[in-house]
Every structure is written in C-alpha cells, then in structure tokens.
Structure 1
Amino acid sequence: MISVFFVVDGPKLETQAHFLAASILQHMAGRCRFYAYVRPGTELPETLMRLFEKAGIALRSIPAPEGRDWRKPYPIGNKLLAAADEREGEIAVFLDTDVVFCGPVDFEAALGDATVAAVLSDFLTSAVPTAQDWEPLYAQMGVPMPLERPGTLRRPNLDYPPYFNAGVVLFRERTQDGNIHVGREWLDMTLDLDHQVAFAAQRDNLDQITLSALGARCGTPTKILPQRYNYNIMGWGDPEPGSCDIAHYHLIGRLWKSPTVGTPTLRALHEHMGAEDLARFVDRSRAFLRWRRAKQLLRQVG
C-alpha cells in the first residue's frame, strides 16, 4: 500500500486541507493510506475532522527533531520531519497542502523503477542561479554533478541541471537494499546544507535543492515526472480537461479562477461536507477564502 502524507499546521493550512480532503474523497478514496501530520496537541476544526474520518485520513504528530535542529526557524522543514517518519508500505508520496486531486493517480506506475520522482520547477532558484553554482553544492552533498541539463518548465533550453518543485514528491520508503531510509536521508541532507552552506537568498528552497540530489544519494537519479502530476495553475493557467492529475494552486483566490479545477473542488466540498458543515467552514475560514468569487461558483454547483 502507498502512503500519502501532508502537513496541517495553522489556520491557513487547515483551510487548504478541507479542499485536499474533499478531492481525496472524490478521486482517491481507498487507493492509498493517507496521513495528515500536525503539531502535538493540535485540535483541528470539527468540519475538517469529519472530512478526514470520511476520507480515512489518519492524524500523526510531526516528529520532533532528533539531535539537531534547523539553524533558524524553517517551517518548510515540517515536511522533511514528516518524510523521515516510519510508515508501512514501500512507497510514500508527499503533497503540499495547497494541492487538489483532479483525477485518480497511479503513484506506483508514476514512480516506476526510480527511488525518487518529482516535477521540474517552473523557475530556477536565485539561491543557485547558474549550473556552475550547483557544482560545489553537489560536492557538498556527496554525489557527482549530473550531466543532464533539462532547464526549467518555463525555460527548457536553459543550461541548468534538474531542479524540482517539492510540492509533490514520490519516493520509496527505503532503497532496494534496505540500507537507506529515503525520507530520513532527505531530512539529513537538508540539515547538513542548512548548517554548512550560507545562502544569500531563498533559504526556503533548501528542500528543493537537496531533492535534486536525493535520488543520486539513494542510488538512482531523481526521476523527472510529467507536469500533470504537479500542475501549477497560478503559473500556467487553467489546465485543459484531462491534462492535470494534481493541481497546485498556491493561492486560494487563484483556485476560484480555474473552472476546470476550482469548480470541481467546490462541488466535491459541497457533496462531502453538506450544507451545515460547509457554512461552518466558510465562517471559520473567511479570512483565507476570497469568498465572493467562490460563492458565485458554489451557486453554480449547488
């Protein structure tokens, strides 16, 4: 069985988790194990707990750092602490909470024979602006610099090594020989980078920098997935029907501007929450919802 996990930490992610859970119910129910990682002692909204129960999403505590912590606060590191957790099964999938499923996904087929897989980033990172700047980082991470130069999704002809968006990451829980816990390796690599390399910009991209080398550290290069597995609707606009399996919306307001993603998401929310819980959800989350446009869509689907 495949384990799919995401982080719910704070009111904004709680709001986004409602959309994700509704899309899981709509497209992925019974296909995977699902886990929501939360801070110990967190009390989630009742509306979200009912959605989680309906979708079979189990709660887990974000593990505490062992031995060393981030050099300074790094909230994105919660995903890495969760990745390093022990789960049953052979394959894990990390999801940013601001994604929704647009259809069923066969994660095992997508990963194939690879150990790690993700979609290329739309843009390069200003922390590592050129291919030459990657060379000392690869040396520090202990793997050879890749010869492949796929560029970015926006600039496919750019002389730039593979650099991935970490919003959807597929990985084996352990390497085939069982010697490396892949999620733990990702965490350790990122902690090493945080403590050993000073970046002038975009420290929040540490997880994506190490993701580029994670596969090689585990025996095979990180596999480049098609864009449909992490489709950035904020950058690319509304996807053509059937061209997007997982949509990454980033901003909730952008979700409502996407008829092929936002409208089905609201329809799923309305179907699986019911009118009373939906009203409670809106009242609690109004600050994040950009609700004027969403109400117009809801009238269409309700």
Structure 2
Amino acid sequence: MAEPVDFAGELGKAQIAACVSDYAPSAGSDEDWAHFYEAFDLPPPEERVQYNAGRRIVSFPYFNAGVVIWRERDAKGKPTHIGRDWLTTALSFEQRVTRPYDRTNIDQFTLPILGYLRGKPVKTLDQRLNFNIESFGQGQGHRQSIAHYHRLGILWAHETHGRYALETFTALMGMDATERFLEAFSAHAKRKRMKRHLSAIALGASAAAAC
C-alpha cells in the first residue's frame, strides 16, 4: 500500500468492489462466459468492462482478485457472508462448468457471478487501487494507491515503491530482517530468484542505518 485508502468510502453503497483485470483469461470468450452464467441459471449480463493492458479487450465483467473490498455486515448489522458465498460459488463452478478453463482463475471467474447471484453486480474500482507495476512499470503520472506485483525483483526495481517497502519492512521487522528471512527461507528464495534482491535490500538497509 502506497498511501492511505478509505476502503468503506471506495465501496460506497456496493456490496463488493474490485479492479478490472489487466489481461483477459485464457477461457474468456463470450461463449465461455455465457456457459459460465448458464451453469448458475443466470442470463448473460449486459455489462462489459475493458481490460487495462494488452489489447485492452472489451469483455464480460472480470476482475483481479488481488484487491477485493466487500461489506461484512448490512445496514442492520447482519453478516453478509460474502466470503463464504464466494467459496461456495467457486466450488459449484468447479462442479457445474464443463468448458475448459484455467483452474487458477476460478476465484476471478466466480467473483462477478457471485455479484449477480446476490443481485448486486461487483463495483469497478479505479485502477490506482490495484496498480500493476509488473505491466505498467514506474507508472509516471499515474496515481498508485496499492501496488500489484508478483516478483520481488519488480518491487525492488520500482523507484518509489521499492524504497517505501524497504523502509517499512525494516521499520517493522528490524534492520536484520532480510538476513533472518534468508536464513529461514533460503531454499525458497533461491528457487524464486529472490536471493540477490534480498541481499541488495540488506545492503541498502545497512547503508541507510550508517547514514
């Protein structure tokens, strides 16, 4: 997180909110989506979204699951059970859908379906709330409230977020945090090619402490 976010304010009157995905899933044609909704006895929705990257294809609603905001209780204080229902929807999707799809995307396939099942479609959040620095790099001129990345090297290379992450990490965990992380997870770090980045962070932290 790069700046404070008013999650309740971003959600507004919606039940669920998320950012549109940057890229289309492998199984995401109109025919695929029509089948997905049919599996839940739902008509295909009229709403469409435009992906943020690549060819910026227009598609049925499809959201990145990295940042999802939902209301835990309604106006009367009654639990909404959105998390539970999302899981149930995903399990039902797995049982009912017969067209080929990437199982790793099942959470994202079912999030918009959950919204329509509840009669309240997922609200689209501004891209700044899940800004993908893997795709958009430094993103100069674009507001970035929450940074989205998959690889430590991408974060470390980011001029703003990398420095902020380092300062926050060491402030919370201590100046020797990176060394302790490598001691505990060295094998995993080596497989994920994180070791050299973590070592660089450790050197940066030591240099900062010396100043």
TM-score range, shorter chain: 0.7 to 0.9
Name the counterpart of 1:44. Answer: none
Contact 1:175/1:181 (8 A) holds in 2: no
Stretch of structure 1 that moved more, 205-214 or 266-275: 266-275
One-letter amino acid of the structure 2 residue matched with residue 294 of structure 1: I
Name the counterpart of 2:119. Answer: 219
- 1:282 paired with 2:192, answer no
Stretch of structure 1 that moved more, 148-157 or 165-174: 148-157
Secondary structure, counterpart of 1:256 in structure 2? helix
Give CA deviations for 1:16-72 in whole Å, capped at 9, x if unaligned.
xxxxxxxxxxxxxxxxxxxxxxxxxxxxxxxxxxxxxxxxxxxxxxxxxxxxxxxxx
- Cα gap change, 1:165 to 1:233, in 2 (>3 Å): same
- Cα gap change, 1:247 to 1:300, in 2 (>3 Å): farther
When Rg is computed on C-alpha atoms for both structures, the one with the higher figure is 2
Q: Larger strand proportion, structure 1 or 2?
A: 1
Name the counterpart of 2:201. Answer: 294
Contact 2:133/2:149 (8 A) holds in 1: yes
Name the counterpart of 1:146. Answer: 45
| Ranges in structure 2 where 5+ consecutive residues have no aligned partner | none
One-letter amino acid of the structure 2 residue matched with residue 189 of structure 1: T
The equivalent position to 2:161 in structure 1, one of 255, 261, 266, is 261
Give CA deviations for 1:205-241 in whole Å, capped at 9, x if unaligned.
0000001222222221100001111111111112347
Name the counterpart of 1:243. Answer: 143
Name the counterpart of 1:196. Answer: 96
One-letter amino acid of the structure 2 residue matched with residue 139 of structure 1: E
Structure 1 distance, partners of 2:48, 2:10, is: 22
Contact 2:175/2:205 (8 A) holds in 1: no
Structure 1 distance, partners of 2:207, 2:160, is: 13
- 1:231 paired with 2:131, answer yes
Name the counterpart of 1:167. Answer: 66
Give CA deviations for 1:214-269 in whole Å, capped at 9, x if unaligned.
22222211000011111111111123477111111111111111111111100111
- Aligned CA-pair RMSD: 2.4
Q: Larger helix proportion, structure 1 or 2?
A: 2
Secondary structure, counterpart of 1:219 in structure 2? coil
Structure 2 distance, partners of 1:237, 1:145, is: 35
Name the counterpart of 1:61. Answer: none
Secondary structure, counterpart of 2:120 in structure 1? coil
TM (norm. structure 2) is: 0.84
Name the counterpart of 2:13. Answer: 113
Contact 2:129/2:146 (8 A) holds in 1: yes
| Ranges in structure 1 where 5+ consecutive residues have no aligned partner | 1-100
- 1:132 paired with 2:31, answer yes
One-letter amino acid of the structure 1 residue matched with residue 38 of structure 2: A
Contact 2:24/2:57 (8 A) holds in 1: no
Structure 1 distance, partners of 2:118, 2:45, is: 14
- Cα gap change, 1:181 to 1:124, in 2 (>3 Å): same
Name the counterpart of 1:55. Answer: none
Structure 2 distance, partners of 1:199, 1:132, is: 10
Name the counterpart of 1:80. Answer: none
- Cα gap change, 1:175 to 1:195, in 2 (>3 Å): farther
- Cα gap change, 1:123 to 1:300, in 2 (>3 Å): farther
One-letter amino acid of the structure 2 residue matched with residue 225 of structure 1: L
- Cα gap change, 1:300 to 1:206, in 2 (>3 Å): same
Structure 2 distance, partners of 1:265, 1:232, is: 16
Contact 2:32/2:99 (8 A) holds in 1: no
